[in-house]
Amino acid sequence: MAMLLCGCAKSAFPPGGPVDTTAPSIMLTVPADSSLRVPADQGIEILFSEPMDHNSVRDGIRVYPPPGAQMYDWSGRRVRVTWAQPLRPGTTYQAFLSSGARDAHGVTLGRSLTIRFSTGDSLDHGVITGVLRAKTLPTRGVPILAYPESLGLVPDFANVDPAYATETDTSAVYALVGLPMGEGFTIHALYDVNRSGSFDTGLDLVASFPDVIRLTPERAVADSINLVAVDPRAPALVSGTIFSPDSTLRFRVEARADSDTTTVRSVARTGPGDYLLRLAPGRYRLRAIRLSVETNAPPTAEIRREDVLEARAEGEYEHLDFRFERAGTPATPPLPKPSPEPEE
């Protein structure tokens, strides 16, 4: 009876009104993008279209080059960010707000905000752009960091803040803008795996561009600085086909670790057809076994691949096939017998 009453009840929003699914937007920024001659004591103001979650906005705002510790003052839908120290003269700054900033109902902005402004008479116009590519890792909203080349190709991510930063958009594209000329940078994509807000060695992942990017008046824009992110914990995919004229027999494909033969991964199937193995990165030897129809009986045939498979994270290894003859015949044709020697 209760189910019938529910089925006939009038549709209504849950208590508290309709669920908010509308993304917040940014109505106004002070200074506006591309502003010049900004006073040294100028803060940054952002007016949102609706009340925001203060913590997510605070965690998502960064200014580059960093002018010092940030202080926040909220007034309704408006936030003002200031610093104890004045801004440097003749300097181009980049204020960045992450797309992950949320409104009071938990709906994210969905797209990041970048404001360029200068305390001088002109803006630095250096740009570094590229695409983040990955198979198993996300490519949207990933932080992209630029470090001075003086810190080396692998800077101390845990203890040194980047000189500039942005994040990838919905198409995995990033753009670092307002960069100074005559300086070199290393570019990195950072995966904060445990979402701690800081880099944790041994847990978080970094994908780096292999070379230093130097911007000059002759090369103010460096494009196609593409990054490739690989999850070292992701399995390798090994696939192939079992060929056999016997459609009802059972088969098993095994991958045995070359360094530890007790580590075995296997997959079974009935009849010929395709197989798929997921392997942790490492070295493996593969074999396929044709199982007996009787339980606990030894296998009736076995085929081993002599080569060692070097399985890498996210690697895909295809067409590792095994061909069996009909049951009762050897899996590998016998060697031909030598011809008899002619009689003298």
Q: What is the average pLDDT value for the chain, to the nearest integer?
A: 88
65: cis peptide before it, omega within 30°?
Answer: yes
CA separation for the pair 158, 190 (Å, rounded)? 11
Whether 155 has a pLDDT exceeding 60, the answer reads yes
Per-residue pLDDT reduced to its tens digit, 211-246: 999 999 999 999 999 999 999 999 999 999 999 998
CB burial readout 277-292, b (16+ within 10 A) else e = bebeebebbbebbbbe
Tokens of 217: 């008046």
Per-residue pLDDT reduced to its tens digit, 288-342: 999 987 777 777 899 999 899 999 999 999 999 999 987 655 444 444 444 444 4
Do the Cβ atoms of 179 and 165 come closer than 8 Å? no
CA separation for the pair 61, 208 (Å, rounded)? 23
Per-residue DSSP letters for 70-102?
A: EEEEEETTEEEEEESSPPPTT-EEEEEE-TT-B
Strand pairing report for 282-290 and 213-215? unpaired
Per-residue pLDDT reduced to its tens digit, 77-119: 999 999 989 999 999 999 999 999 999 999 999 889 999 999 9
* 299/149: higher pLDDT: 149
Whether 137 has a pLDDT exceeding 60, the answer reads yes
Which pLDDT does position 328 carry in this prediction? 56
Per-residue pLDDT reduced to its tens digit, 27-67: 999 999 999 999 999 999 999 999 999 999 999 999 999 99
Strand partners, 310: 283
CA separation for the pair 145, 125 (Å, rounded)? 18
Question: Do you know the residue count of the chain?
Answer: 344
Q: What percentage of residues in the chain have a pLDDT greater than 70?
A: 89
What is the pLDDT confidence band of residue 122, given thresholds at 50, 70 and 90?
A: very high
| Alpha carbons within 13 A on the beta-carbon side of 172 | 15
- 230: phi then psi, degrees, rounded to nearest 5: -125, 130
Query: Across residues 187-207, what is the average pLDDT?
Result: 88
Which pLDDT does position 6 carry in this prediction? 33
Which pLDDT does position 20 carry in this prediction? 64
CA separation for the pair 165, 146 (Å, rounded)? 6
What is the pTM for the complete model shown?
0.78
Q: What percentage of residues in the chain have a pLDDT greater than 90?
A: 75
H or E stretch at 309:
strand 309-311
Query: Across residues 263-273, what is the average pLDDT?
Result: 94
| Alpha carbons within 13 A on the beta-carbon side of 252 | 13
- In order of start, what are the domains of the chain with their CATH numbers? 26-229 (2.60.40.3710), 236-323 (2.60.40)
